[in-house]
Structure 1
């Protein structure tokens, strides 16, 4: 299920029917009193205005397409009536509107706050999912800092572990895989840089990280081949042969394996797995992704 569909389930048209109905109909649907056909322009600044009136005015703003004004009023309810049922609703709705407007820092702060205040509420997994999506929307190319990828993985993992039965789990897992692939790509980029400079030990450390920590990403295939090259360049033939053997077992038709095999053969060697090598132990986790 795509994230767009999941988030769409929380549109106000489906959760809190607005459509073209009058504000009075909206209030009836929400079972909230204090509705008025006219909006007092000074009500937003008056702390004595009942929470339900401000809340309903925010809903009317949404119906009119004024999301910024709606957010202000939801924030007012949350600020002036803390821990009330309407404050709780206002907080999650403000989080959603902030996401719709692309205000990701606000989404992250608001979503985390909701999950912290109301961890058992049915909307808590949704709030955390929006936090993860806000980080996900800021993913950058692997040549740049991958903070957003790390935060995406962390936030989506929280959705999966804390709310395993929620409707967001499957998409959260997909986003985790994408984030993990980004992080593996960053390691490969740095590893190739070191390898080109013939700093093979530094390169090996990066490629090893991919094999051990990102074993289910598309980068593990190349990482194993790069390990063959780096270990072979250092004269560590047993490790090079083991890496090639693991590569051949998991990716027998890979061009990376063919190249690794040819490299070893040029030195009179063949792929051969050393069961005591860290590579052999890590191979048990490789999925052939």
Structure 2
């Protein structure tokens, strides 16, 4: 066999062996990379779950400030992780618990915008109502016996609107019954506010303005707890305006519908001196725990 043929054969075999070695090395590297990626994914999942567990611990202990930080950290590090949506939902609750109603509403709006088809989106609407109402108070008023109706009604009206939107969009929501109860309470507060304003007008000598406030309650808040006081306000105002016939009409209506009202004496006569006392005795009582929100629904994240 010629020498040059042996050289060609040797060169060819060398090339084949080199390619084989390169191929085998590539396979080994690829397998190593896959194993390395699996290990990294496992570590990342463990770290994500650890942060989420920390956030849950803070929520259970009502350490809402730390819970917010943990949930924000979770979302920033793992924006597409399996706990990301849950973190966005729970941060609404955490902001509410931390007396940060505006932040809670902002977080709820963000969740609604990002996850319009989420199975717990009704919870976000529900929390918007709670947060809107809590904007009417501060940390001190939650523990001090103050009259809610004497505060600005802007947040009460906003909360009422949010709960109404929840019921309109999700009539079968598990939060529906609670939202309806809160709307009744808020409606009573709005009606009571009108009576508070009427009493202010009485002290200022603006009797016609006081009568108009009473009439507004009768026309717009039928069935509220302030109805009887509204009739008493109208009767009192008409007497002060020297309009006895209109005053008697209000008194007669009061006797028929609310015979035990404090402004009526035992004999059924209207006692002007008892009107202010009636205002105090008919203030709507807030049920204990009525405004304690439920925590966000939990989901099973096991694969």
Same fold (TM over 0.5): yes
1:96 alignment partner in structure 2:
93
**Alpha-carbon deviation of 1:221?**
0.8
Out of 123, 126, 130, the position equivalent to 2:127 is: 130
- Per-residue CA deviation, residues 91-122 of structure 1 (Å, 9 max, x unaligned), is 21322332343332211111123234434432
Highest RCO, 1 vs 2 (Cα 8 Å, sep ≥ 6): 2
Q: Describe the superposition over 1:173-224 as per-residue Cα deviations: whole angstroms up to 9, x where unpaired.
A: 2222222222222211111111233311111121122222222322211110
Counterpart in the other structure of 2:51 = 58
After TM superposition, the structure 1 = structure 2 runs for residues 1-289 of structure 1, keeping only pairs within 5 Å, are 34-36=41-43, 55-65=48-58, 66-76=66-76, 81=80, 87-140=84-137, 141=147, 142-258=149-265, 262-263=269-270
Q: Which moved more, 1:156-165 or 1:237-246?
A: 237-246
Query: Equivalents in 2 of 1:260, 1:154: separation in Å?
Result: 43
Alpha-carbon distance change, 205 to 92 in structure 1, aligned in 2, over 3 angstroms: same
Separation in 2, partners of 1:86, 1:63? 12
1:168 is displaced (CA, Å) by: 0.7
TM-score, structure 2 normalization: 0.61
1:53/1:192 CA distance change after superposition, 3 Å: same
User: How many residues are aligned here?
Assistant: 215
Q: Aligned to 1:262, what secondary structure does the other structure show? A: coil
Q: Which moved more, 1:249-258 or 1:158-167?
A: 249-258
Tell me the TM-score normalised to structure 1 length: 0.63
Q: Which runs of 5+ in 2 are unaligned?
A: 1-39, 59-65, 138-146, 272-303
What are the ranges of 5 or more consecutive residues in structure 1 without an aligned counterpart? 1-32, 40-51, 265-289
CA-based RMSD: 3.1
